[in-house]
Structure 1
Amino acid sequence: MILKRNVLALALASGLCFTAGIQAAPGDAAAGNGATGDQATPANAQQNSQGATGQNGNGQNANGDTKQTQDQQLAKSLSTITVTGYNQSMEKSIDYQRYADTIQNVITSADIGGLPDQSIADALTRLPGVTAERIAGQASQINIRGLSGNFIQTTLDGREQPSTSGSNYIQFDQYPSELINMATVYKSSQASLITGGVGGTIGMETANPLDAPKSQNLNIDARGSYDGQAHDVSGANAVGYRLSAAYQGKFLDNTLGIGLGVAQMYQPHVSEQFVGEASDGSQYAINSQPGAPTGYLPEGIQLQQNGGEERRTGEIATIVWKPTDELQVTGDGFFSKFKNESFGYGFRSQNFYGNNTQITNPVWSSLGTLIGGTVSSNPVAGIDPRTSSAYGNQFSNETTADNYTTTTSVFSGGINLKWNHDNWHIDSDISLSRATSNEINVDTTADPYSGLGTANPQLMAQSMNFQLRGGNVGKAQFGDPSLYTNLADMGLSRYGVYPYIYHDKMKAFRTSVKYDLPNSSWLSALEAGVYLNNHNYNADREAYVYGSEWNTTPVAGQPPLSIPAGDAKVTCWKGKFSGFPCFLTLNGPGILAAHGITANPVKDINANSWTYVQSGEVAEKTRDLFFMADIDAQNVFGHELTGNVGIRVSRQSQYSDGLQQVGNGAGIPITDGNGFTSYDYAPINVGKTYTDYLPSLNLIYHLSDDDQVRFSAAKVLSRPPIDKMLAGAGSWISNGQYNVYGGTSPLLDPLRAQQYDLDYEHYFDDSSGAVTAGVFFKDVKSFVQDITLNNYDFAAAGITVPTDPTTGKPYLNGEYQTAYNAKGGLVRGLELSGSKTHFLPGILSGLGVQANFALTSSTVRNPTNLGGPTTYVGLPGLSKRVASAALFYDYGPFSARLSGNYRSSFLSDTQIAVTNQLVTFAAETVYDLQASYDITKQFRVVYQMLNLTNQPTRTYFGGNPQQTGTIQYFGRTSYLGVEFKL
């Protein structure tokens, strides 16, 4: 604990971080050769184990003639760039792409720092084939070439990053754009890259202070923000800010570099939502009368205002010591804390299916699913004679007060050593990275009651008329809207707290040794290395529940609670949502406190045994070796051939500790947080070990100085989603059969794939633009899916089956709900990219354009019944069409950029009900604008507007746009501020 506190104290004490205004030349802190003068040579230009390679130690070929390697050409090209603003950033990015051994796209510091990016995710979406899923209006999870974040490896300064998402994918809004000096998307693989990127690898890098333009550098950036949508949301604040400061200094004759900085963001969390809920895939009669029409019924609809605030603080500290030209030692730490306070208030009309309602005037979708009609309480509770199932008055337009507040943090730091002597190069790194996520997840519901406060309160009969309107806000009208603002009628039915707590920690070591071959006619270098990573993931679930929804299953001593006037406020809708019924904004903890109740979420093995089933630990151990040869042949059919060939041997161990519900008192004694002791659970440790051989080949055939063809082939893998490898499992007995639920498995195989790329690239003179075209092909062997297996042989799988007391023998085998490696499929696509600067004369010479287009398809189909009947939808994360375009202008002190990002519809499971749901996100286009003016050399005024058109997020179920999922409006955000540079 002392070590942990000291490390965090070091990061926090720095109080400073690199800002958007940093103008240092892009450096590679992972590869990190700093310069010793004020005009530094970019580190990547000398040696970058994850980028451009092929350096010869003394730069001579077998004949003793000097030859220009990829890295030397990159260094020369970057040193000639003298333009500023967006033109400069684009031209630097083109050079990194041009001289790299892998197929990659790059964003440099000037690009990131000068554009309207709240996080590094926004910057990445400007690259071809790269898209982001907007969560709460912000770009968060990144998709590459149609594959979701679980298929993407992410590093910071060469160090694998832990996740705050509870799964494998990285939430990139955790990383402020001010802190990142360069970001590279590797679309092809090479042996030196850490495994995990079937979709691609994203390498983020922080700056090397020895690469700063001057001996002493200070940058301060202050911007105020405004989101007009906040005025429509209860309790939301429209005003926010972003502040950042940075210092970079070089000392002791430029042998010691120090970089310190901080970046802070405060902004409102705002959205207004119309939600259509999913079907369970079953057909129901629309009322209990004989001969009533049947169809697929959704669970209900929701109306919600989502407000709160977001606070993010990012910090970084870097010390680089380079006592000689041969030795460099770097110590650095990155820390980011993000608190997203998110409160949802409104209505939830639920329980449409299950014979709980009467439905009249039904409107059906083309798939036979209800999308409109009048829903009302069943007049009589009882047993349906046709189905022998119970029905009753369980329908309500319940008032909701939810709290999704999440606090996440990431720390990543370590020590890196580089030693270069003649033809030998050693790069070693030891690191510690950890991430935490804690979502409070409160669900509060209130309903109108007759007899509230008596011994037998009864849910009032209610009705509502609704209509889904596809991608537009639907209709919802209540029979008696005055009920829901009358404190004499409204009572708190349920208050539930269900925290999601995750811890993700990595301890890693990597080292590589590279030897230059200056006299070889084919090879420029040989490289070998090792990578060790101990990865521990912990999931911890808790619960506290007061009462029951609609009071349908009354709990002794927990009746519906009256609502004090001070803990409720009448709130009405505005803007696009005006006309919906007014509701009460509830203070759930205040209502409980008025009745002497305090919520205390704990592990509950009695009433909420899933808190133990879904908790547990996964331990992964990675032990990798790699061997790689850099290719640099000067005359292959009259042209130069560069690239690399290699193999990575990856050995993976994955084991999980959890609890299995064995029943019948056959387990060990476990006492939960409420003092209840159970003997029905037994600890288990399950897992597997496997080894993969991953060859890779990257070739660049240089047709001319400006034209080249690339070919890449590799075998790659991504580890299974770590949350899907938990060992915990619950059980139930039915009809003499033992059944197991959990939906996870530590025995999952990795997601393996073979991939091929072919690209043509043309570069304009003076790095003023490029035109590229490429095709790619991926054969993914499997995808992780949930499955229910019947008559499963539990004993053969090592799962203990309890004894049936009626027979004295083990229960019969029943259902096994688990995760498994389903059949894979093909992913293939086309990517086009073009950019050009300086193509017009005079005052228009500062005009530049940039455009990307990607076309992707897949043979993968996923079944879903959330829209009613079973339909087949595509691969999560895949948009068939992705495009982005930007028009920018730099002339004298003025700079401006207008950009747009488009992606066609795609599938994702980031919409959450009780569990994650697979929904289709509709096509969207988001426009951003930025303009700046240099008042002096030290001061600049900046204006930004994000999401110019207030583009909403729209989802629907089952591939049917009529079946509305969620429609969310987040508003447009404006920034106005100043930058100071010294």
Structure 2
Amino acid sequence: MILKRNVLALALASGLCFTAGIQAAPVDTGATAGGSAANTGTANDQTTPASAQQTDQSKKDNKSADQSKQTEDQQLAKSLSTITVTGFNQGMERSIDYQRYADTIQNVITSADIGGLPDQSIADALTRLPGVSAERIAGQASQINIRGLSGNFIQTTLDGREQPSTSGSNYINFDQYPSELINMATVYKSSQASLVTGGVGGTIALQTANPLNAPQDQTLNVDARGSYNGQAHDVAGANALGYRLSVAYQGKFLDNTLGVGIGVAQMYQPHVAEQFVGEASDGTLYQVTPSQQGYLTQGIQLQQNGGTERRTGYLTTIVWKPTDELQVTADSFFSKFNNSSFGYGFRSQNFYGNNATITNPVFSSLGTMIGGTVSSNPPGVGGDQFSNETTADNYSATTYVFSGGLNAKWDHDRWHVEADASMSRASSNEINVDTTADPYSGLGTANPQLMSQQVTYALAGRQIGTASFANPGIYTNLNDLALSRYGVYPYIYHDKMKAFRTSVKYDLPNSSWLSGLEAGVYINNHDYQADREVYVYGSEWNTSPVAGQPPLTIPSSDASLRCWKGNFSGFPCFMQLNGSAILASHGITATPVKDWNNSWSEIQSGSVDEKTRDLFFMADIDAQVFGHELTGNAGVRVSHQSQYSTGLQQVGNGAGVPIADGYGVISTDYAPLTVGKTYTDWLPSMNLIYHLTDDDQMRFSVAKVLSRPPIDKMLAGAGSWVSNGQYNVWGGTSPLLDPLRATQYDLGYEHYFDDSSGAVTAGVFYKHIQSFIQSVTYDNYDFAAAGIPVPIDPTTGKPYLNGQFQTAYNAQGGNVRGLELAASKNKFLPGIWAGLGVQANFALTSSTVSNPTNLGGPTTYVGLPGLSKRVASAAVFYDYGPFSARVSGNYRSSFLSDSQIAVSNQLVTFAAETVYDFQASYNITQQLSVVYQMLNMTNEPTRTYFGGNPQQTGTIQYFGRTSYLGLNLKL
């Protein structure tokens, strides 16, 4: 017996309850609040049509409904709402129900699952789903990849509201979202007309809870855990201890017509990492020795990263339901993340460019040097910019996300109306300080000289390499060491959205083919602002002396001797420097501003204005075909987009307008520029589910989808130069980019065991993506036709001739195809083992797309960013009486990413990794439980390499394993 979607929604939503602690509250067997198969009965949910919120009472009032069908529906709803399992088993069974009865191909994590697992953020929970993986940034799961596509291809909503980003691009940093404040997460792998555009890879819908669905009139959850990271003992100044604390209250008032939910979640932990870095090549073939040619890299780094991370999240929800037909919700979510991240160690620089003498070189299979001895050039021979720099970096960042709004739902007879007005904002401010010190002779004189130096090193592929210095004592002697340069390069981003959506649905209970018709409107005004500033004292290696800015002596109070331990023991000791204090001791204060002397700070600043205007129409399908039920939906979404960017273009020759920089210096070589375009896309979609038996069904989906270009790639600012009477422009961005359009197909089979005790699913998918964003250089580019002004050549009195245009463009696309398998089962053993359950999934993905890179030496072709050929996860869990435990592992094979940053983002390959987690809990009483967790049990590092060649080490980082011990109290 198969249900129409409205009653299925009722059945599924009736059992969910609010959670904001580490473990979910008991299931509410009497709740009747509406939801859909793609919904949780949350306070807000755009991702499912408003009319899918029909209540049990409104169903009874529908006199046209089939009465016998209604009785069976109500019986199934009652069955689903009385599931009595708890712990990990409960989370698995509810996730299976949502997946089974959804119109789209989706995977779901419910509150019991999220709240009960060792998740620092919602990103950790998402990685347990088939075909979903995460990039670990600073040891934490952050950017999510779906089906081999990176975060820029993924749409993310919270309570149906499109989320702004703190990344400076389109992808969401999911470590911004505490798992304690999220009630449910759904990953949509197929599309439907009612979904907000943007999910070529998929759509992630995060949802908070409706307090009116809570099992009790008043509840309070308090969770407190202390944490310990053993890696911190090896890192200069790091603290091994931290904590997590969450408090949540929910209450129902005025005869259950008013619900209030409040949640606070705070995390404090050390920021810990030790890293060995092999830097990138410039792609140039050098004469390395008199008899050998090869590709050289910039250098190597040894660094300890310390600091702290503090994230605080707040959630408030007020729900008013004066009648069975009307519900009004006001809610808000806020999360602030402070990451004080400092890096100390060595950076051996400038192996290439004739700046050093190389002996005994060792080359990789690509012909790139991966070991040897690098020495300062003799006086008068070559360059003099090689040094084993002592570094003190500051990557501290403060980010916040706010999302809130007002939602109204009205259900009357067959009519269902929803309206939602919202505002979301995100901000990111990374200070990005680079401090370097070098050994000098003649310190305190008018002409200090960089000392002669040497390093002997060897890369070891995906393992920690070796490095030793000649005369290492000069790097710990403050009589020799001086601060050469102190640079501050802030990255500041602001991302704001104002949106409105509404939808109307009409039920068709007597139709032989359709169960309902729905139409809706979506409006979103998106404003993005990027600001770059700069302050620089001195010059690196003092090779370009700045008047009045000599190398600065280092007071002993501003430097501490540090030596390596553990996996990094044996490397030379170094001085931990306090760069800002060293400047202050010399009466200098760093004040970063926009600066014409560093014109990139003006050019890379700017804004992008996006306006989205969408309409959609969708029909819900419920028919009998060849004696079996066929359900699903079909529809079309019409998406109209306007994208314009404002920035500064360097026109030169005083042809611009007077503009003052942060120092008050006026330049007339730059002109404001506004460039952009509009476009409209028709996006049809269809989802079909053919029910072979009560427990077996097949799915087929097809849709046209799009993702908007990465917003940071649409900045209009550009620099320029004139050569041979031609005007040339550099910038690497373009407001004229097209969206990333794709056509996608899905075919799957699903078998479900009795009582939601497990499932076996298999599916294949195929995506044809028309284009990808890449960098390009055009010759003889027609600037005027693109709306880019060309300055006048004073020698001819006419505009300069067209020259090069270095920009971003829509490169040829390609295909992404894959296979996904998943299995889960519990209740397969008797007695005390009845609480044992298993879950496992595996995804195999491939693509025809390749990207050129010369960071590993010669030009090689690497794959599609975000794509791991193999992604898998498995878990074994056990619930028996008051005891619960789970051990899980997540694996992903190697993948490409541009999230590694040097001066700019670098395209690197991340090596395969497997991360294991463990959790156990015991209920001392019904109200009090104790919890123990261990994250990253094997201290799995992240490893990267260049050019697809594992010999060419990128970064090897160890973050340590983290243990938690705490208590959970429910009142």
Under a length normalisation based on structure 2, what TM-score does the superposition of the two structures give?
0.95
Q: How does 1:766-785 map to 2 (within 5 A)?
A: 766-785=755-774
Runs of 4 or more above 6 Å deviation: 44-48, 51-57, 59-63, 68-74
State the AA in 2 paired with 1:365: S
Counterpart in 2 of 1:708?
A: 697
Q: What CA distance in whole angstroms lies between the structure 2 residues aligned with 1:729 and 1:442?
A: 25
Q: What CA distance in whole angstroms lies between the structure 2 residues aligned with 1:26 and 1:874?
A: 48
Q: How does 1:602-751 map to 2 (within 5 A)?
A: 602-605=593-596, 607-633=597-623, 635-751=624-740
Change (3 A) 1:682 1:970: same
Change (3 A) 1:45 1:774: farther
Counterpart in 1 of 2:349?
A: 350
Instruction: Report Cα offsets for 1:307-352 as digits up to 9, x if no partner.
Output: 0000000001100000100000000000000001100000000101
Measure how far apart 1:675 and its partner are: 1.7
Counterpart in 1 of 2:569?
A: 578
Counterpart in 2 of 1:264?
A: 266
Measure how far apart 1:292 and its partner are: 4.0
Counterpart in 1 of 2:8?
A: none
Measure how far apart 1:225 and its partner are: 0.1
Counterpart in 1 of 2:945?
A: 956
Counterpart in 2 of 1:9?
A: none
Q: What CA distance in whole angstroms lies between the structure 2 residues aligned with 1:167 and 1:273?
A: 26
Instruction: Report Cα offsets for 1:655-693 as digits up to 9, x if no partner.
Output: 001010000000000111112110000001100000000
3-state DSSP class of the match of 2:919? Answer: strand
Q: What CA distance in whole angstroms lies between the structure 1 residues aligned with 2:72 and 2:638?
A: 27
Which of 453, 464, 474 pairs up with 1:462? 453
Measure how far apart 1:380 and its partner are: 3.0
Q: What CA distance in whole angstroms lies between the structure 1 residues aligned with 2:148 and 2:839?
A: 22
Query: Do residues 414 (structure 1) and 405 (structure 2) align?
Result: yes
Counterpart in 1 of 2:139?
A: 137
Query: Do residues 787 (structure 1) and 787 (structure 2) align?
Result: no
Counterpart in 1 of 2:560?
A: 569
Q: What CA distance in whole angstroms lies between the structure 2 residues aligned with 1:70 and 1:192?
A: 29
Counterpart in 1 of 2:5?
A: none
Change (3 A) 1:380 1:587: same
Counterpart in 2 of 1:7?
A: none
Q: What CA distance in whole angstroms lies between the structure 2 residues aligned with 1:506 and 1:247?
A: 29
Change (3 A) 1:814 1:170: same
Counterpart in 2 of 1:475?
A: 466
Q: What CA distance in whole angstroms lies between the structure 2 residues aligned with 1:584 and 1:71?
A: 71
3-state DSSP class of the match of 1:67? Answer: helix
- Contact 1:185–1:201 (8 Å) recurs in 2: yes
Query: Do residues 550 (structure 1) and 536 (structure 2) align?
Result: no
3-state DSSP class of the match of 1:668? Answer: coil
Counterpart in 2 of 1:303?
A: 302
- Contact 2:50–2:503 (8 Å) recurs in 1: no
- Contact 2:943–2:954 (8 Å) recurs in 1: yes
Q: What CA distance in whole angstroms lies between the structure 2 residues aligned with 1:796 and 1:610?
A: 25
State the AA in 1 paired with 2:197: T
State the AA in 1 paired with 2:168: G
Measure how far apart 1:812 and its partner are: 3.4
Instruction: Report Cα offsets for 1:214-263 as digits up to 9, x if no partner.
Output: 11111000000000000000010000000000101011111110001100
Q: What CA distance in whole angstroms lies between the structure 2 residues aligned with 1:862 and 1:279?
A: 17
Measure how far apart 1:805 and its partner are: 3.4
Measure how far apart 1:42 and its partner are: 5.8
- Contact 1:54–1:69 (8 Å) recurs in 2: no
Measure how far apart 1:484 and its partner are: 0.4
Counterpart in 2 of 1:593?
A: 584
Instruction: Report Cα offsets for 1:798-836 as digits up to 9, x if no partner.
Output: 222223334444333332110000000000000000000
State the AA in 1 paired with 2:148: G
Q: What CA distance in whole angstroms lies between the structure 2 residues aligned with 1:412 and 1:133?
A: 24
State the AA in 2 paired with 1:43: G
3-state DSSP class of the match of 1:229? Answer: helix
Counterpart in 1 of 2:9?
A: none
Q: How does 1:221-236 map to 2 (within 5 A)?
A: 221-236=223-238
- Contact 2:35–2:53 (8 Å) recurs in 1: no
Measure how far apart 1:107 and its partner are: 0.3
State the AA in 1 paired with 2:550: P
Change (3 A) 1:266 1:467: same
Change (3 A) 1:378 1:73: farther
Instruction: Report Cα offsets for 1:116-172 as digits up to 9, x if no partner.
Output: 000000000000000000000000000000000000000000000000000000000
State the AA in 2 paired with 1:312: R
Change (3 A) 1:403 1:77: farther
State the AA in 2 paired with 1:624: D
State the AA in 2 paired with 1:192: S
State the AA in 2 paired with 1:731: S
RMSD, aligned CA: 2.1
Which of 746, 752, 758 pairs up with 2:747? 758
Change (3 A) 1:857 1:516: same
- Contact 1:731–1:740 (8 Å) recurs in 2: yes
- Contact 2:429–2:490 (8 Å) recurs in 1: yes
Q: What CA distance in whole angstroms lies between the structure 2 residues aligned with 1:629 and 1:671?
A: 57
Measure how far apart 1:393 and its partner are: 1.2
Q: What CA distance in whole angstroms lies between the structure 2 residues aligned with 1:198 and 1:394?
A: 46
Instruction: Report Cα offsets for 1:903-945 as digits up to 9, x if no partner.
Output: 0000000000000000000000000000000000011000000
- Contact 1:309–1:340 (8 Å) recurs in 2: yes
Q: How does 1:47-196 map to 2 (within 5 A)?
A: 50=48, 58=59, 64-67=66-69, 75-196=77-198
Which of 251, 254, 260 pairs up with 2:253? 251
Change (3 A) 1:203 1:26: farther
- Contact 1:483–1:489 (8 Å) recurs in 2: yes
Q: What CA distance in whole angstroms lies between the structure 2 residues aligned with 1:69 and 1:47?
A: 28
Instruction: Report Cα offsets for 1:249-306 as digits up to 9, x if no partner.
Output: 011111110001100000000000000000011111125xxx4421100010000000
Counterpart in 1 of 2:859?
A: 870
Measure how far apart 1:528 and its partner are: 0.3
Q: What CA distance in whole angstroms lies between the structure 1 residues aligned with 2:502 and 2:682?
A: 19
Measure how far apart 1:65 and its partner are: 4.5
Count of aligned positions: 947
Q: What CA distance in whole angstroms lies between the structure 2 residues aligned with 1:64 and 1:802?
A: 74
Counterpart in 2 of 1:5?
A: none
- Contact 2:407–2:420 (8 Å) recurs in 1: yes
- Contact 2:628–2:692 (8 Å) recurs in 1: yes
State the AA in 1 paired with 2:357: Q
| Greater CA drift, 797-806 or 105-114 | 797-806
Q: What CA distance in whole angstroms lies between the structure 2 residues aligned with 1:395 and 1:795?
A: 44
Instruction: Report Cα offsets for 1:597-627 as digits up to 9, x if no partner.
Output: 000000112x110011000010000000000
Measure how far apart 1:81 and its partner are: 1.2
Q: What CA distance in whole angstroms lies between the structure 1 residues aligned with 2:520 and 2:463?
A: 55
Which of 483, 486, 509 pairs up with 1:492? 483
Q: What CA distance in whole angstroms lies between the structure 1 residues aligned with 2:74 and 2:148?
A: 34
State the AA in 2 paired with 1:201: T
Query: Do residues 437 (structure 1) and 443 (structure 2) align?
Result: no
Change (3 A) 1:45 1:209: closer
Measure how far apart 1:52 and its partner are: 11
User: Identity over aligned residues, as a percent?
Assistant: 78
Change (3 A) 1:477 1:802: same
3-state DSSP class of the match of 1:576? Answer: helix
Q: What CA distance in whole angstroms lies between the structure 1 residues aligned with 2:379 and 2:73?
A: 80
State the AA in 1 paired with 2:167: S
Instruction: Report Cα offsets for 1:499-549 as digits up to 9, x if no partner.
Output: 000000000000000100111111000000000000000001100000011
- Contact 1:656–1:687 (8 Å) recurs in 2: yes
Counterpart in 2 of 1:385?
A: none
3-state DSSP class of the match of 2:107? Answer: strand
Ranges in structure 1 where 5+ consecutive residues have no aligned partner: 1-15, 36-40, 383-390
Instruction: Report Cα offsets for 1:412-455 as digits up to 9, x if no partner.
Output: 00000000000000011000000000000000000001111111
- Contact 2:42–2:159 (8 Å) recurs in 1: no
Measure how far apart 1:204 and its partner are: 0.3
Under a length normalisation based on structure 1, what TM-score does the superposition of the two structures give?
0.94
Measure how far apart 1:789 and its partner are: 1.7
Q: How does 1:382-393 map to 2 (within 5 A)?
A: 391-393=382-384
